[in-house]
Amino acid sequence: MKVISKKSYLKYSIICLLLLSANVAKAEQVKADWEKPTPIFEQEYDWLRLSSDEWLKGDIVSMYDEELEFDSDELDLQTIDWDDVAELRSKSWQSIRLVDGTIAEGYLVVKDGQLSLVKHGKTTHFDIANLLSIASSGKNERDLWDGYINIGINLREGNTVQFDYTFTAGVQRRSASSRFKTDYTANYSKYEDQDTEEKIVTANSDRLTSTYDWFFSQKIYLRAMDFEYFSDEFLNIEHRIRYGVAVGYHLIDTSRTSWDVNAGPSYQTTSFKEVQAGEKDKENSPGLILGTDFTYEVTSDIDYDVSYNIQFVDEASGDYIHHFQTGLEIELASDFDLDLTFYADRTEKPRADADGNIPEQNDYRLVVSLGYDF
């Protein structure tokens, strides 16, 4: 039997130790190659991790109705189901609103099913199940606003000389507890008589609406202001002004579909362009307004929406006044959209002009326009 000397044993031990160390180092390297990389959170971006483990960098726009609007640096504005949000980190202060009405501000972190706000070095934890909405803090006022501009133009030359345009624009301010929205629509059309070269206006109307909603709970909101200015010379209306308040309720609230209804009292003042002898050129009337708004995300690039309201006023002010609007918004590229919108208006009792001519009850328009969101 061969006896191994102490010197040889020490030599073999060192060799085995070196081989073992090399194998351990190689295993650690393989493990490091397979480990998930830790993202570097650059402070100029908000960061979002989806449940699919994908990361997006960009800007938090808002969260309401279980939907997060996130303006991705590469993918533009994305609407994401809140259930698909695994982690969220903000670069600046955010304002949150809880179902009990509590409002808090700070740097936002959502991770592992927990919501935290960091403010002046102090971290406060909240129950994420009680979260109602998220919006940029008032410290970043610009982040609270968004808007759009759409324009549709029709030009004809030759046997028919005609010019038509429809212009719409709007802005919206959203915070954790409220929403302010203003929309404006102008419709104008004229043509030139080829025999007399007289230019004849065939449409000329303006509508401005403005609302202010306060989120009372996940399902109920108070419309503290409901304002409308309307003028249409072919409906014999110099201007019509309506003020109102309403209570709203979310009937459907999913990642792709929303349906709201609202109702409340109103007061309307109408000035007519012309009236027959002995009639008043101005009418005031209390009223009741009922409205509904429906939105459905057909695909990630196509949205369908419907809006309808009816106002009940006295007969001298029009009796029943309807406004219906529906259409498709198709995202073309970046912030540009193609809009196809159908408008329908009906006044049950339009006022006759000085010659006794009674305007048509119904007005219809189909508009194709190019829009820009900002």
Averaged pLDDT, 299-319: 92
Segments of 217-318 assigned E as strands? 220-232, 237-253, 257-272, 282-297, 302-312
Q: Are 285 and 314 in contact (CB under 8 A)?
A: yes
Domain boundaries, the chain: 46-136, 144-373
Q: Which of 187, 267, 195 is nearest to 232 (CA)?
A: 187
pLDDT band for 264, please (50, 70, 90 cuts). very high
Averaged pLDDT, 107-117: 89
195-241 pLDDT tens trace:
777 888 888 999 999 999 988 777 888 999 999 999 999 999 999 99
Query: Does 144-373 carry CATH code 3.90.1640.20?
Result: no
pLDDT of residue 74: 81
Non-local (6+) Cβ contacts of 192 within 8 A are 161, 162, 198, 199, 200
Q: Kindly write down the DSSP assignment for every residue of 161-202, as one continuous string.
A: EEEEEEEEEEEEEE-SSEEEEEEEEEEEEEEE-TTT--EEEE
pLDDT of residue 128: 86
Q: Are 181 and 175 in contact (CB under 8 A)?
A: no
Averaged pLDDT, 15-34: 54
pLDDT of residue 17: 59
Which amino acid, 207? R
Say whether pLDDT at 32 is over 60: no
pLDDT of residue 34: 45
Phi, psi of 140, rounded to the nearest 5 degrees = -120, 65
Non-local (6+) Cβ contacts of 14 within 8 A are none
Rounded to the nearest 5 degrees, what angle is found at the Cα of 72, between the Cα atoms of 71 and 77?
45
SS3 91: strand
162-194 pLDDT tens trace:
788 899 999 998 776 788 999 999 999 988 877
pLDDT band for 45, please (50, 70, 90 cuts). confident
SS3 331: strand
With tokens 């130790």, the residue in question is 17
Say whether pLDDT at 55 is over 80: yes
Q: What whole-number distance in Å separates Cα of residue 209 and Cα of residue 242?
A: 9
Q: Are 184 and 208 in contact (CB under 8 A)?
A: yes
Averaged pLDDT, 152-169: 80
pLDDT band for 3, please (50, 70, 90 cuts). low
Structure tokens at 9: 């044993």
Q: Are 147 and 182 in contact (CB under 8 A)?
A: no
Say whether pLDDT at 36 is over 80: no
pLDDT of residue 249: 92
pLDDT band for 14, please (50, 70, 90 cuts). low
Q: Is the pTM of this model over 0.95?
A: no
316-357 pLDDT tens trace:
999 999 999 999 999 888 788 999 999 999 999 999 988 889
The overall average pLDDT reported for the chain is: 84
Non-local (6+) Cβ contacts of 280 within 8 A are 316
Q: What whole-number distance in Å separates Cα of residue 137 and Cα of residue 60?
A: 11
